[in-house]
A and B are shown apart, each in its own frame.
Chain A
């Protein structure tokens, strides 16, 4: 610290040298050897003002508690959404008619994805589990004692493989049904219940657009998804949809429209390559020039959707955490405020400590430690309180919102940082006090 030798040229020994008080003090006064004592002094003065210390900490407690709970809930929600998408499959490409550039008013001009396109894609022998064209429409399904408006999906047998559908009763649409454009239908479990109650749906007849269709299968419940329940839908051969129910002949009369074509890749990592290969084929078949004219179809890459959703949820989480961070900041300002008051109140104490030998760094340390202890303790309490909501939510099974180590680290790190940052200024004011003036302070 200093090269000053205060023991230079000591004068003759004291008179009553027998007293312990006249033995030289064997201690170094250098550096931060007394840091622990300074920390103890800080704790002491915080404990002496319990109510004030608690109120001062409140800002940090609320700030950290909200950061912790919002981060946990946000991460939990994000994981839950990601999980649902992954359950649908991250290896799916969906090609639909129309381009992103077309407004809704031009929708009719975009009905140019055909059965032949689907067959051409299949002919490429790509590494896919299946190529599943489909044609969706809403229609009233009429059973003997009930009727219901439902989404009717015209599909090929590949649809079952691509979407992992399992049967509760009967069988799915077969190739024979497809070739013969047979009037058969497979019902989602909820839809079957709505139309036939608890009775037997299999083998019954329903009517759609005045066509009778025989129920050949009922699906096992698939559960809800982010995009509505799969169990409310009905499935028919796509050929039946095109020819018998919804008249989906192309304008030129040579083929049949499809609504979309779904590809299920064997490896999710192939999705990008599959997307460009399929796009190229479709542009060729649709006679689109290579000069950059827009696609007249739309490819949705499931992995991209997942990525986008992840970005959105993590941005939401960050946004919420930032809002919570503002309250942490306000808490820090509260600490600075109280520390400034404390320095003013304890001016005489500071003057005394300096008069009897405390150097500036001792005083600085005392007040910085006080601020840091306040905010760290607040941070710990906030962490405990902030954990309650995520733990309760997890226990109730609403959402799996684990509190990870990262969150704990962020909470404690931030509260310590806030304490140090907002504690420095009051502490510097204390350390700079002149002992003569400080001792005179009333």
Chain B
């Protein structure tokens, strides 16, 4: 599903070249549940941006679901993101003035999905995450955990190949955190959805089937729970 080979990423910061990734290689199979861990500055966010097709590597190969995406233009990357990826963010990033339903429908607008089909899929996704009773609520009428469930529904609705979660519980209390992680584990185990998440919390990483550990731009650990 995901295959990274000898990925290097170098940033220009002022006059200094910062080497964020120094030859990272790993593969993630379909249906896997992977946590990427590491202290800040370890390069885990950079890996996440690359996997999420938000950025391209300086060198190396990246194949996502059969498509070589390492050298695509930014518009083609957007196309890949829309069709193959679902994003979950720490801050939920819901549109504040739109209902939960409209929020979940939103990414499919850019794929040209018809209104009826969008609504059908959005309702199914909201039901799947347990938000079927609150489709007309706006984000400010929902708790943090509920907002994150809507965000998960948004990620699910377009049938992505992979769901990418960037610190999905970072803004939640521990009880809600475990509810969200249970939801992600259930989606992974029952629906067979591939999940990749970035976290620096061991409790959170414990939900994953496989943990990749990063330090100083290199992969230093790869273990199955």
Chain A interface (Cβ within 8 Å of chain B)?
Answer: 1-2, 4-6, 8-12, 14-16, 19-30, 33-34, 37-38, 41, 44-45, 48, 348-349, 351-360, 362, 435-436, 439
Q: Which single residue of chain B is at the shortest CB-CB distance from A435?
A: B54
Q: Is B76 an interface position by the 8 A CB rule?
A: yes
Decide: B79 and A359 in contact? CB cutoff 8 A: yes
Chain B interface (Cβ within 8 Å of chain A)?
Answer: 1, 30-31, 49, 52, 54-55, 65-67, 72, 74-76, 78-84, 87, 89, 93, 95, 97-98, 106-114, 117, 120-121, 124-125, 128, 154, 156-159, 190-193
- Point out the residues of chain A lying under 8 angstroms from B80, CB to CB: 4, 6
Q: Which single residue of chain B is at the shortest CB-CB distance from A47?
A: B97
Interface centre among A24, A29, A44, A349 (most CB of B within 10 A): A29
Main secondary structure of the interface of A (DSSP, over half): loop
Decide: B78 and A436 in contact? CB cutoff 8 A: no
User: Besides A27-B112, A356-B81, 9 other CB < 8 A contacts?
Assistant: A9-B66, A11-B65, A19-B128, A21-B156, A355-B87, A356-B106, A356-B107, A359-B78, A439-B89
Q: Give 30 A-B contacts (CB < 8 Å), ordered by A residue.
A: A2-B76, A6-B79, A6-B83, A8-B66, A9-B67, A11-B30, A12-B30, A14-B193, A15-B31, A19-B128, A19-B191, A21-B121, A21-B125, A21-B191, A25-B158, A29-B110, A34-B111, A37-B109, A348-B93, A349-B95, A352-B89, A352-B95, A356-B81, A356-B106, A357-B78, A357-B110, A358-B78, A359-B79, A362-B110, A439-B93
Q: Which single residue of chain B is at the shortest CB-CB distance from A24?
A: B159
Measured in the bound complex, the distance between the Cα atoms of B149 and A23 in whole Å is 21
Decide: B52 and A16 in contact? CB cutoff 8 A: no
Measured in the bound complex, the distance between the Cα atoms of B65 and A24 in whole Å is 15
Measured in the bound complex, the distance between the Cα atoms of B111 and A29 in whole Å is 4
Measured in the bound complex, the distance between the Cα atoms of B76 and A360 in whole Å is 10
Decide: B191 and A355 in contact? CB cutoff 8 A: no
Decide: A354 and B124 in contact? CB cutoff 8 A: no
- Point out the residues of chain A lying under 8 angstroms from B106, CB to CB: 353, 356
Decide: B74 and A360 in contact? CB cutoff 8 A: yes
Known pairs A21-B125, A356-B106, A357-B83; A14 contacts B192 (CB<8 A): yes
B153 to chain A, nearest CB (A): 10
